[in-house]
């Protein structure tokens, strides 16, 4: 019987994502000046206030207030009427030194034996459903908000947009798990005040349906564009009505509260650990990236059409407790999922230090992950400048989203005889 599946996304101006972006900007700045930094920092944002807290072990000294303000400014909170504005918000820092009890479990005389920064399980997922091996509903939800942000910054076709927004996409699937049509699109966008609430709702709905959605549709392959055609899609645009008060003034934001948006939109599984604000010694982050890298390369190599990969750790121990694989019956090789898991352990070294080296994680690459998903993004080399125009300006060339590279496809094919 056909079924419906839904995923959501939130914009860079959503309060939880503001918090994530500040936390990851701190990570990047620490790593830019001291690649061995150990950091776990949390951010809270609310009306006119930012609170920074967490633990750090680093040789670097940062102006955390300046970093936070620059993030808020870049997102677009630059007007006093937002009640949360880059230049005027108060910023309180309660960042302190990392516990030596935790650090002794991570650092080792031999770097290769670096222990996991915490216990827990992490998941990676990949599917042939889209070109970037991501679940379709989440991919579309992200694309809607990415394009909405483009429209906001262009300030031409739509001139009333404010930074906070959410999207949600529901897709109908056939019995054989193929997407058939888009059933529902939900978009809630913060906006400037209008003279008339009735005219406001009509204008926003018209613009989302006639400007935003067609621009997103045009980015898709023809077979995905067909999911929009010939169907009576349910559009819920700002369904609560007026959405002038938003961002951190409308809702308090915290680091790590959008972990499903960050990963696979509810497809696959999640181990529960957030990513933003954590340096790569925290396996919540690094092992989640590593399992995504494995899953994507397995599917791309033709081992299966869909796969969920789990890895688990004990704090302070380098070797994983175990690796688990579930191909949901889509395997193309004559192996059980358990045998595939054993083969993965032979191909990929999942010790924390090996993951850091393989994916180049001790670089300032995390700010870009903190909005619109950590997975399914494009791997690329960029040049980043820290403390631009100031005494300690530093320019760094880094490779973003290394876990999205298909650099192990040939190794996987060789190992599985494909």
Ligand-binding annotation for 69, yes or no, is no
Ligand-binding annotation for 274, yes or no, is yes
Per-residue pLDDT reduced to its tens digit, 303-351: 999 999 999 999 989 999 999 999 999 999 999 999 999 999 999 999 9
Under the banding of pLDDT at 50, 70 and 90, the label for residue 390 is confident
Task: Return the residue matching tokens 């830019």.
Answer: 32
Task: Return the residue matching tokens 């070797």.
Answer: 319
Ligand-binding annotation for 154, yes or no, is no
Ligand-binding annotation for 123, yes or no, is no
pLDDT given for residue 118 in this prediction: 82
pLDDT given for residue 106 in this prediction: 59
Ligand-binding annotation for 97, yes or no, is no
- Exposed e or buried b per residue across 205-237, where buried means at least 16 C-beta atoms within 10 angstroms of its C-beta: bebbeeebbebbbeebeeebeebbeeeebeeeb
Ligand-binding annotation for 57, yes or no, is no
Ligand-binding annotation for 243, yes or no, is yes
C-alpha to C-alpha distance for 119 and 322, rounded to whole angstroms: 12
Q: Which CATH number fits domain 3-10+135-246: 3.40.190.10, 3.40.50.2300, 3.30.300.10, 3.60.20.10?
A: 3.30.300.10
Ligand-binding annotation for 114, yes or no, is no
CA 94 from centre of chain: 25
Per-residue pLDDT reduced to its tens digit, 391-414: 889 999 999 999 999 999 999 999
Is there a shared CATH topology between the 3-10+135-246 domain and the 15-99 domain? yes
The DSSP result for 219-276, as a single string, is: TS-HHHHGGGTTS--EEEESTTS---S-HHHHS-EETTS-HHHHTTTTSS---S---T
pLDDT exceeds 80 at position 55: yes
In CATH, the number for domain 15-99 is 3.30.300.10
Under the banding of pLDDT at 50, 70 and 90, the label for residue 116 is confident
pLDDT exceeds 70 at position 7: yes
Task: Return the residue matching tokens 């403390």.
Answer: 387
Q: Residue 10 pairs with which residues in a beta bridge?
A: 166
Per-residue pLDDT reduced to its tens digit, 263-316: 999 998 999 999 999 999 999 999 999 999 999 999 999 999 999 999 999 998
Per-residue pLDDT reduced to its tens digit, 13-35: 999 999 999 999 999 999 999 99
Under the banding of pLDDT at 50, 70 and 90, the label for residue 104 is low
Ligand-binding annotation for 190, yes or no, is no
pLDDT given for residue 202 in this prediction: 95
pLDDT given for residue 111 in this prediction: 72
pLDDT given for residue 1 in this prediction: 83
pLDDT given for residue 109 in this prediction: 61
Ligand-binding annotation for 257, yes or no, is yes
Ligand-binding annotation for 282, yes or no, is yes
pLDDT exceeds 70 at position 48: yes
Ligand-binding annotation for 242, yes or no, is yes
* CATH number 3.30.300.10 given to 120-127+257-416: yes
The answer to whether the CB of 280 falls within 8 A of the CB of 43 is: no
Ligand-binding annotation for 314, yes or no, is no
pTM of the model: 0.95
Ligand-binding annotation for 157, yes or no, is no
Q: Residue 169 pairs with which residues in a beta bridge?
A: 7, 185
> What average pLDDT does the segment 35-47 reach?
96
> What average pLDDT does the segment 152-168 reach?
97
Under the banding of pLDDT at 50, 70 and 90, the label for residue 97 is confident
Ligand-binding annotation for 16, yes or no, is yes
**Please, what is the average pLDDT of the chain?**
94
pLDDT exceeds 80 at position 125: yes
pLDDT exceeds 90 at position 102: no
User: Within 13 Å of residue 319, how many CA atoms lie on the same side as its CB?
Assistant: 4
Q: CB 193: neighbour CB atoms within 10 A?
A: 11
pLDDT given for residue 189 in this prediction: 97
**Which two tokens mark 401?**
């989203």
Q: Which helix (H) or strand (E) holds 287?
A: helix 283-301
- Domain positions in the chain are 3-10+135-246, 15-99, 120-127+257-416
Ligand-binding annotation for 394, yes or no, is no
């Amino acid at each position: 019987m056909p079924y419906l599946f839904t995923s959501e996304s939130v914009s860079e101006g959503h309060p939880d994502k503001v918090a994530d972006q500040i936390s990851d900007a701190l990570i990047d700045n620490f790593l830019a000046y001291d690649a061995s930094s150990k950091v776990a920092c949390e951010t809270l944002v609310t009306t006119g206030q930012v609170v920074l807290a967490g633990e750090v072990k680093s040789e670097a000294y940062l102006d955390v207030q300046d970093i936070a303000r620059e993030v808020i400014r870049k997102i677009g909170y630059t007007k006093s009427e937002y009640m949360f504005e880059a230049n005027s918000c108060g910023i309180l820092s309660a960042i302190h030194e990392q516990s030596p009890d935790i650090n002794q479990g991570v650092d080792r005389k031999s770097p290769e034996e670096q222990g996991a920064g915490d216990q827990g399980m992490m998941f990676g997922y990949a599917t042939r459903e889209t070109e970037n091996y991501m679940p379709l509903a989440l991919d579309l939800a992200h694309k809607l908000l990415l394009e909405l942000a483009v429209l906001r910054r262009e300030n031409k076709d739509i001139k009333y947009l404010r930074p906070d927004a959410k999207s949600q996409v529901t897709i109908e699937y056939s019995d054989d798990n193929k997407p058939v049509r888009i059933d529902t699109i939900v978009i809630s966008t913060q906006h400037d005040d209008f003279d008339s609430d009735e005219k406001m709702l009509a204008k926003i709905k018209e613009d989302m349906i006639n400007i935003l959605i067609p621009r997103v549709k045009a980015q898709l392959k023809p077979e995905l564009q067909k999911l929009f055609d010939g169907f009576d899609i349910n559009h819920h645009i700002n369904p609560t009505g007026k959405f002038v008060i938003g961002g951190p003034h409308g809702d308090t934001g915290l680091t790590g509260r959008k972990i499903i948006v960050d990963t696979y939109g509810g497809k696959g599984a999640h181990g529960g650990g957030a990513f933003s604000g954590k340096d790569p010694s925290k396996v919540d982050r690094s092992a989640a990236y590593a399992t995504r890298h494995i899953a994507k390369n397995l599917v791309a190599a033709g081992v299966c059409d869909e796969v969920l990969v789990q890895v688990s750790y004990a704090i302070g121990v380098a070797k994983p407790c175990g690796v688990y694989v579930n191909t949901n019956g889509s395997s193309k090789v004559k192996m059980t999922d358990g045998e595939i898991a054993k083969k993965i352990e032979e191909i990929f070294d999942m010790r924390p230090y090996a993951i850091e080296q393989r994916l180049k994680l001790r670089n300032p690459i995390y700010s870009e992950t903190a909005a619109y998903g950590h997975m399914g993004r494009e791997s690329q080399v960029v040049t980043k400048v820290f403390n631009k125009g100031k005494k300690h300006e530093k320019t760094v060339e880094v490779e973003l989203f290394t876990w999205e590279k298909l650099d192990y496809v040939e190794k996987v094919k060789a190992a599985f005889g494909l």
